[in-house]
Amino acid sequence: MSDFQFTEQLQQHTPILHFQHTQDGATLRATEVKPKLDKWILTNYPELEDDVSIRISGSKALNYKMSFQINEKNQPRDPGRNAAGYFGNMGDGDPKFLIKNNKPITLKIFCFDVDLLKIIKKELRQFFLCHNFGSRQNRGYGSFTIIGEVASPIKSTYSFRAMHNDNLDKRRKQSLDKIAMSNIDWLYKSLRQGINHGTFKGKFIPWLYMKPMIFQYAVSQDIPIQWEKKTIKEAFFSGKLNDQIIKHPSQMIPPDDPLGVSSNRKRIVRDLLGLSTEQTWMNYPGRNNKPSITKKDIAGEIERATSPIRFKPIQHPEQDFYTIYFWSVPIEDDYLNSTFTIKKDNRDPIINNPLNLEMWQEFNIQDFLRFSFEQNRLENSIRLIDDNKGESLSNLLINIYDDIRNPQLKFND
C-alpha cells in the first residue's frame, strides 16, 4: 500500500436517511463527511489553522481525498410511519429512504502530506464515534464507526441500552437497530412533548400519559414559566381550554398539571429542544378541525433549529444489544434571544394580537438533563390509565431511565 493512503472498514449501526437512494452504491458521501472531519481536525489541532501548506489551493478545505465503497447491494426501505422520530417525506421534494448496509463499508483516505495523514488516521475513530450522517442525524440515524469499535464517544455524558425484549410490537419481530431507534424516540418524547399512548377505536382510548420533562422543569423554576402550549390555547382556543378545565375540576388538577399552571412569565419552552415552525392541532377549532399553528422569527433570521441533544447508537462487538450514547451541545445565543410570532391558520388572535413569545433565554440544557434524570422523577410522572395496555411502555421507560441514572454500568466490558 502507498505511504500516502490508508483504508478503514466501517460498520453501519443505524440506517442512513438518503436522498440518493436510487443510485447504485449510495452510502456515506465524502461531500458531507470530509467537511466535518476537517472541522474536527482543526478544532483539535488549532496550530494547523494557519498552515496553508495543508490546504487545497484557494480553499479552507484540508488537502486530502476521501472515498467510500460498499460491498453489498443497498436495501432501501421507505421510512413512512415506521421510521421512529422521522418526519420527512412531507411537502415538496423527493422523499428520503432508509439505507442499511450489513457488510463493511470501505473508506479510503489519500493524502500527500504524511504528517496530516497520520493525524487523520489518529482522529478517525473518535470522529466517527461522535458524528452521524444524513437526515435526522442528531436523533441517531446514520451511525457508523470503525469496525470492531469498543470505545465510547469522548463527548458522551449519558447512555442506555436497547435490547431485543424492548420491542413493544409483540405481533412482529423487529430488528435490533429499529428497536434502538424506537427507544431513542420514546426517550425524546418523554423529554420534549410528553406521551399520550393509546389506541383509536372510533375515539382515542388512552393507556398511558406522561407530562414532558421540559414542562416540569419550566414550572419548577422559582418563578414558574408557562409554556407555549397553554399560551397558544389561551390565545386561539380559549373555549376548548375552558372545556378542558371544566372536565377537570380545580380540586382534581395537581398544581404542576399543564391545565393548572398559569404564570405571567410566558415563554417558548418546548422548542428549545428543536424548533417546530408548523404544527397541526388535531380536533381543535379551525380549518377542518385541524388548525395549523405556525411560528415565525420576528427578525426573519431563524428558520430551523435542531435539538441540542445528540444520540449515537452503537452495537459493540460480541454484544446482542445496542448502547445509545447521548450528550448535549450549547444552544446558539441568537436562538435563545429570539422572539417568534405565532399564528393560527395564518391569522393573529382576535384579542391581544399579535401573539409574540420570547424564547426562554435562561434555559440551561445541562441542568435540564440533570433535573430530568433525578431519582423517581420519571416514575412520579407516569400515569397508567390501563395497567395491562400501558405497562409495557411504562417498564421500557423505567428501564431506559434506570440505565441513564447508573453510569457505573460498563456496557463495553
Residue 154 lies in a domain: no
Residue 410 lies in a domain: no
Domain end position, chosen among 95, 117, 149 = 149
The kind and range of the H/E element at 161 are: strand 158-162
- The answer to whether 113 touches 5, Cβ cutoff 8 Å, is no
For residue 60, give the CATH number of its domain. 3.30.70
Considering the domain architecture, whether residues 140 and 170 belong to the same structural domain is answered as no
Considering the domain architecture, whether residues 311 and 395 belong to the same structural domain is answered as yes
**Pairwise pLDDT comparison (135 vs 65), residue with the higher score:** 65
Amino acid occupying residue 296: K
Residue 192 lies in a domain: yes
Residue 233 lies in a domain: yes
Residue 412 lies in a domain: no
Share of the chain above pLDDT 70, in %: 87
Residue 375 lies in a domain: yes
Omega of the bond prior to 224 within 30 degrees of 0, cis? no
Considering the domain architecture, whether residues 108 and 200 belong to the same structural domain is answered as no
Considering the domain architecture, whether residues 107 and 192 belong to the same structural domain is answered as no
Considering the domain architecture, whether residues 362 and 316 belong to the same structural domain is answered as yes
| Cα torsion angle, 123, 124, 125, 130, sign | positive
What 3-state class would DSSP assign to 331?
A: coil
Considering the domain architecture, whether residues 141 and 166 belong to the same structural domain is answered as no
What is the number of structural domains in the chain? Answer: 2
- Give me 218's grid cell: 419550566
pTM of the predicted model over 0.85: yes
Considering the domain architecture, whether residues 163 and 144 belong to the same structural domain is answered as no
Q: Residue 24's pLDDT is what?
A: 58
What 3-state class would DSSP assign to 246?
A: helix
Considering the domain architecture, whether residues 339 and 379 belong to the same structural domain is answered as yes
Average confidence (pLDDT) over 57-65: 91
Give residue-wise pLDDT tens across range 332-388.
Answer: 999 999 999 999 999 988 877 789 999 999 999 999 999 999 999 999 999 999 988
- Domain span at residue 89 reads 5-149
Mean pLDDT of the chain: 88
Domain end position, chosen among 149, 184, 206 = 149
Considering the domain architecture, whether residues 196 and 296 belong to the same structural domain is answered as yes
Q: Residue 250's pLDDT is what?
A: 47
Is 75 a residue whose pLDDT tops 80? no
Is 412 a residue whose pLDDT tops 50? no
What 3-state class would DSSP assign to 390?
A: helix
Residue 358 lies in a domain: yes
Considering the domain architecture, whether residues 144 and 163 belong to the same structural domain is answered as no
Considering the domain architecture, whether residues 120 and 195 belong to the same structural domain is answered as no
Partners of residue 279 on adjacent β-strands:
293
Determine how many CB atoms are found less than 10 A away from the CB of residue 229: 18
Considering the domain architecture, whether residues 211 and 334 belong to the same structural domain is answered as yes
Domain end position, chosen among 89, 122, 149 = 149
Residue 326 lies in a domain: yes
